[in-house]
Amino acid sequence: MKIKKIVLHILQMRLKAPFSTSYGDIHDRELLIVEVKDDDGAAGFGEGVAFSIPWYTEETVKTTVHMIEDFLIPILSKTSFHHPRELVESFRFIRRNYMAKAALEGAVWDLYAKQQNIPLSQALGGMKKEVEAGVSIGIQPTIKDLISLIEQYQEEGYKRVKIKIKPGWDIEVVKEIRKHFPNLDLMADANSAYTLKDINHLKQLDEFQLMMIEQPLAHDDIVDHSKLQKELETPICLDESICSLEDARKAVELRSCKIMNIKIGRVGGLTEAKKIHDFCKEQNVPVWCGGMLESGIGRAHNISLATLEQFTLPGDISSSSKYWEEDIIEPEISVYNGKIALPDSPGIGFHVSREKLKKYTVETKVFTL
């Protein structure tokens, strides 16, 4: 494959409503869209999913731009390759910086699928024609607000709800939700808000039949989660702790989780994400696709990945309208009866609107290779 030109589009988009987690509130989303072009003018798109502030992982939009501009593009310009899966090896000598690698690799995957004239899902080996959608709801001002949001999302067709928890917003909240929705597929994401000192506290969640508790302990821990899982009936799902296939292997070996959340950006791209998927399939560990408050471009990548067989649980893959007044892709992503249908056009399958991309762009960087 030959990449002729790379364009980094830095966007600023306002969320419809602030998204609150145990770390704090997000009102605006700074986004990085990576566009790669070949000799024939075909374009592939990827999305950098780092936030402006390094609260989820150590990366930020600025560090991803720096990595892509100063290290990854120079490597790409000197590398000859036939398939996007070869890029993992070329990028390997750069430590971590997974979201930067994933943004560029994702754009190359999209271009590759377009050159082959096949959907990205097919290029990845996915067979599903639709994927199950789930909704992630941030911390709300009151439990009443949360209950009415869950009602609203159920009316929109979502069948699985993830809530955010933290000390002071956990047991009572789950108890109240269960009173209103005894049979709801419900899970709770703690984003590392607890420590092993909270074992007895977290055990109280066991009576509420949660599908899982996501990342209760430190963002970089695998060992303490194994201790916690021994004490909890509720399955633990790891998110932040899994940045590579090696991390996944260690977590399964230590029984630190029973479920894994795979986020393309967190693990360095689609190639590594697929490897983790294949490993989990072998090990019988169910996986689901996490979200990062992406624009439609990132979500389209997530949808394609989630067509792989072991994605047996609904992901944090919701409609464009959950976060955005308008998305930058056409058509926008929509959920019908809890499912998103896969588009059948080549690549990510959605058209990127140049007009909308421009409308939200605050900076553009162009590189000719």
Ligand X SMILES: O=C(O)CCC(=O)C1=CC=C[C@@H](O)[C@@H]1C(=O)O
* Per-residue binding letters, 5-34, with ligand X (x by CB under 6 A): ----------------x-------------
Enumerate the H helices of 260-353 as residue ranges.
270-283, 296-305
Whether 322 sits among the annotated catalytic residues: the reply is: no
Helix (H, G, I), strand (E, B) or coil at 352: strand
* Percent helix, strand and coil across the chain, each to the nearest 5: 35, 25, 40
Pick the catalytic residue from 164, 166, 274, 356.
164
Per CB under 6 A, 194 contacts ligand X: no
Helix (H, G, I), strand (E, B) or coil at 10: strand
Per CB under 5 A, 189 contacts Mg ion: yes
> What's the burial of 303, exposed, middle or buried (CB within 10 Å: 0-12/13-18/19+)?
buried
Q: How far is the CB of 324 from ligand X (least distance, A)?
A: 11
189 Cβ neighbours under 8 A, 6+ residues apart: 21, 136, 162, 163, 164, 165, 213, 214, 215, 239
* Per-residue binding letters, 233-272, with Mg ion (x by CB under 5 A): ------x---------------------------------
Q: How far is the CB of 271 from ligand X (least distance, A)?
A: 21
Q: Tokens 């992503």 — which residue?
A: 333
Nearer to Mg ion, 120 or 133 (CB): 133
Instruction: Report which residue's Cβ sits closest to ligand X.
Output: 291
Per CB under 6 A, 318 contacts ligand X: yes
Whether 159 sits among the annotated catalytic residues: the reply is: no
Indicate which single residue of 37, 38, 46, 56 sits in contact with ligand X (rule: CB under 6 A): 56
Q: Which entry of Mg ion, ligand X, none binds 21, CB below 5 to 8 A by partner kind?
A: ligand X
From CA 225, how far away is CA 360, in angstroms rounded? 40
Is the separation of the CB atoms in 165 and 22 below 8 Å?
yes
From CA 249, how far away is CA 242, in angstroms rounded? 9
Say how many Å lie between the first and final Cα of the chain, rounded.
13
Q: How far is the CB of 29 from ligand X (least distance, A)?
A: 10
Per CB under 6 A, 292 contacts ligand X: yes
Is residue 239 a known part of a binding site? Answer: yes
Binding site for ligand X (CB under 6 A): 21, 56, 136, 189, 191, 239, 290-293, 316, 318
> Which positions make up the binding site for Mg(2+)?
189, 214, 239
Interface ranges with Mg ion (CB under 5 A) = 189, 214, 239
